Structures are given as structure tokens and as C-alpha cells.
Amino acid sequence: MDQPTVTTPHGGFQQIVVSHEMTILRGRGPFTSVTAPEHAFALIFGFGALNSRASLVLAGTDQVQALLTRGDRGVGIVLLLAPSVVGRIAGRMVPEPAVHSAWHLPAELRAIALALRDCERTGEAGDIYLTAKGIELLYETWALLDDDALTPLAPESGLSRADSERIVRVRELIDERWNEKLSLEGLAAMCGLNREKLTRGFREMFACSVTEAIAERRLSQASRMLLTTDLPVSSIGYENGYMNNASFSRAFGRRFDVSPSDFRSRQLVA
């Protein structure tokens, strides 16, 4: 990896030239005097006004120049990439953007992108941090793209774009507030949907029910806590939204086919 070069050109954005194959842009644009890889395509992570929900957009080579010239008020992070970078990650050249080139930004990618966007470290340590986060974001994003594991913002269904964005917001609320008391009615009201549309649309977009998504988020977090903390099982259940140990143990057993206590002991022995 080449030594990264970090500059802050006029225009309210910062660029980190990681190598001749990768440049990271932080800010809103327009992006002028940018050092872009040859034949670059772009991964765009949006958080603001133009993208009312956190989103990921894949822009092909023919779209990059317009992106740089125009900029978007809601853009947070842009990764400009040479096709050869993905060739090394995925073992093949980057494909043309799919029919759906805009996706919901899931919690795991959102956390990395926000850490990169909001980093205030300076000097050599800051440069290293920004470079490392940019590479991590690229690898994790491409793994999800390669597995077809991202949810389009405007799926092929009877949902309008506005309704699909509201449903994506429900998923974000589950990711952010899984340990609170969440109900189908409450989530629908918070996002301006009726219960029937949320129920149908959520299953279309995420291939599970709202209740299943909440349980999966809670139990995934609980399983991590069982392995990484010394908290009692009952405390872990409570911290992840279960009001008593019996309900937590039943839900955990259905998901992992083992009790929380046995899960902890087996994994630690292994």
C-alpha cells in the first residue's frame, strides 16, 4: 500500500489518496481537483438531505465525472476505485451496476462509514486511521454486494419509493433501538405507515417479519454478549429487551437450539 496523501481542497471536502487505485472523499462536493484512479467507479455513502435515508449507491465509470462536478448535499463518503481493486478482493473485475444501484445502508456498514465521516483525528495517526477505515469499508461493502445481501431502496414491488424508504427507516429503528419495547403498531406510527402496509412491505424487502427482525437483532447481540462479557444470563436478556429470563431462554433456544447458559459454556470450551 502506498503512503496515503490527505488534502483539503477548497469546496468543503477532504480527499485521502490511499494509492493509485483508491481515493476517499469526505464531504458534500462539488469535488474539484480530485486525484481519481483511472477508469474509476464510485461507492457513495449518503446520510443527508438528498438521501433522506442512509444509502449506498454504486456509480459506474460513466457516472463518476458528473458526480464529481455536481456533488450531492447529502453525500458523506465517496470511495473512488479502480476496477483492479475489486479484482483482487473478489477474484474478478467489477461488474456493471445492477438495475438497482441504490441500497439501504445496513447497520454494520453505517457504523464504519460514520466513523470515517466523523473522524476528527489529525496528523499521521489520523491519516492512518482514515486509510484503514476506508479499506475496511470497501472490503465489508463488497462482501455484501458479492453475496447479494443488500436491500434495494426501490425494490420491484407495488411499494412507492416513499413507502420503501419509510420501511427502511423501520429497519434502521430496529437496528438502533432493538433493546427497547418495540411493537408493530408503534413502529408503523413512527414512520407514517399503516400496519398492513408495513407488514407486507417489510416482508417483501427483508424476507422476514418485523417481529422476526427484532428477535434476530436482539438475539444476535445477546449471543455476542454471552461470549464477551461476564454478565449473568438474566442481565443479558434484560439488556436486550426481554422482560424476564424465561422469555429470553425460550427465544434463544428457538434461535440457537441451545439455552443461553449452554451456549456460553460450549463456545468458551471450544
What's the pLDDT tens digit per position in 215-239? 999 999 999 999 999 999 999 999 9
pLDDT at residue 86 greater than cutoff 90: no
Query: CA quadruple 227, 228, 233, 234: dihedral positive or negative?
Result: negative
- The 8 Å CB, 24+ separation contacts for 95-102 are 96/60, 97/58, 97/59, 97/60, 98/58, 100/152, 100/153, 100/154, 100/155, 100/156, 101/57, 101/58, 101/59, 102/55, 102/56, 102/57, 102/152, 102/153, 102/154
| Res. 74: pLDDT tops 80 | no
- Give the global pTM: 0.65
Instruction: Kindly indicate the confidence band of residue 159, based on its pLDDT and cuts at 50, 70 and 90.
Output: confident
Average pLDDT over residues 103-121: 88
pLDDT digits (tens, 9 = 90+) for 175-223: 888 888 899 999 999 989 999 999 998 888 887 899 999 999 999 999 9
pLDDT of residue 5: 64
Please tell me the distance from the alpha carbon of residue 70 to that of residue 20, in angstroms, as a whole number.
23
Is the model's pLDDT at 165 over the cut of 90?
Answer: no
